[in-house]
Every structure is written in structure tokens, then in C-alpha cells.
Structure 1
């Protein structure tokens, strides 16, 4: 199934924007916003808070650079699915920030923290939609089942 040129342009722009966003956020993890990101690490998480911030920043940089670099399927869809999985994996940190009433990034009220929670599913959808991840993964699964 092919998509229209306009849809491909919108998807490519979405992918590039998400890649830039992730790269910027990852660099921020390692530099200017390191303490702010620590507010999103749940108090119950068994690893050192600073290590988690640094590691997640490195992952974000890797995903961002990959989104800025990979334009052919199936790699594009795999990177998109990986980014979506990353957004799901860090969601407990956003929930913990809300439940533990931790301030960070101007999220200094429960209302602001709750609104922030609503954006995580949008990030997942963005990563999947801009990269054609669902279609790519279905195609890979189909090819795998045919070759068995």
C-alpha cells in the first residue's frame, strides 16, 4: 500500500521534528535540565536517579539521531516502534511525578502534572504514525509467517 506524496511529506516532517525533539531532550538530560529530569524518576525505582537521567538521555539522543537519519522501511518503522516503546517505558516516571507531587519543568501543581500525563499517549501515536511503524511491523510479521 502506497501513500500520497502529501502524506509522505507530512510523515517525514513529523519524523524529523520528533527526532529533533528527542535529540534536544536527550542533550538536556545530560546538561542544563539534569536536575529537572530527576523529578521524573520514581522514588521506588531501584537505580541511582542521576544514572537513570543520564541513561535515558543517551537513549533519547540515540533515538533522535536515528529518527533524523533513517528514512527507508523497514528500519524507519522499527525505529519508530522503538521510540514509541521508549515513551511507554518512561510513562511510570510521569505518573510518579504526579503521584509523588514532584515539581519539575514548571509542573508545580497536580493539575499541570495531570495535563502532562495526557501528552504521553500523543507521543506514542506520533512516533508510530510518523514512521509507519504499525504497517511496517505488520508487514514484517506477515513475511515471517509466510517464510515458516
Structure 2
């Protein structure tokens, strides 16, 4: 089980670095579609800053396995914090990343809990308790 958890942690970390690099380069405009119109900061600045955060979190998740619990929790919280951007993309009907219909944008919303659980699992937060832990024996 720990091997699967390690693979999940590294895969999510690498994906986060890739997404972060996309924020800073070729997918910059696509990510701007996820910044809500009501958000008080410049869309481009928001995309750039979140890209740097994604690179940092993804890199740390891969390179600092001793701190995987803390990083996994912070990464899960990051996914919670950015969720309003996904909701806004749906509500405002903004196209981005091929999400060009309300159905696709709505479907995207259901992937966010998967990312949260993935971060928690990779960080070691979602573990089965051994029978002896539950019974106290």
C-alpha cells in the first residue's frame, strides 16, 4: 500500500509542476478563464502567482517525502481555495481547456474533490486503521 501511496504522491507532484509551468507559459490565457471576474487581483498576476505556488507545492510533494503529510494537507487546502475559480468558470460560462459547454464545465467541478482526496491520500492522511488500533488490543 505504501508503494501505491508513493506513486500517487509523485504523480500528483509531477502533475502540479506541469500545471504550474503551464500557468507561466503556454496555458496562461487558458488559466485566466478560471479567475473569477469578481476576484480583486489582475487575472494575469493571479495565474502567474498560482503557477509559482503549484510548482513549489508539486516539487515539495515529490522531493520532501518526510514532510508529505504537511504538504499533502496544504495541497488539499490549495485545491479547496481555488475551487471558486472553477465554479466561476461554470457560472460565467467561460471557455478554457476545452470546457466550452455548461455540461463540460459542470463536470469539471466534480474532479476537484478527487484532487483533494488524491493530495490527502498521497500525504498519508487517508489510511485504514489496523484492527488493533480500533479495538485497543
- The normalised TM-score by structure 2 is 0.91
Alignment counterpart, residue 64 of structure 1, candidates 58, 69, 74:
58
Question: 1:111 — aligned with what?
Answer: 103
Within 1, Cα distance between the matches of 2:36 and 2:125?
29
Alignment counterpart, residue 98 of structure 1, candidates 90, 93, 113:
90
Question: 1:82 — aligned with what?
Answer: 74
Alignment counterpart, residue 43 of structure 1, candidates 30, 33, 37:
37
Structure 1 gaps of 5+ residues are 1-6, 136-148
- Describe the SS at the equivalent of 2:20: helix
Question: 2:16 — aligned with what?
Answer: 22
Structure 2 gaps of 5+ residues are 128-137
Alignment counterpart, residue 33 of structure 1, candidates 23, 27, 51:
27
Shift of 1:134: 6.0
Please, what is the CA RMSD of the aligned residues? 0.9
Within 2, Cα distance between the matches of 1:111 and 1:134?
31
- Residues paired across the two proteins, number: 127
Within 2, Cα distance between the matches of 1:41 and 1:14?
28
- Describe the SS at the equivalent of 2:36: coil
Shift of 1:133: 3.3
Within 1, Cα distance between the matches of 2:88 and 2:122?
28
Shift of 1:31: 0.1
CA contact (8 A) 2:120 2:126 kept: yes
Q: Is the counterpart of residue 55 in structure 1 residue 44 in structure 2?
A: no
The list of structure 1 runs, each at least 4 consecutive aligned residues, that deviate by more than 6 angstroms after superposition, is: none
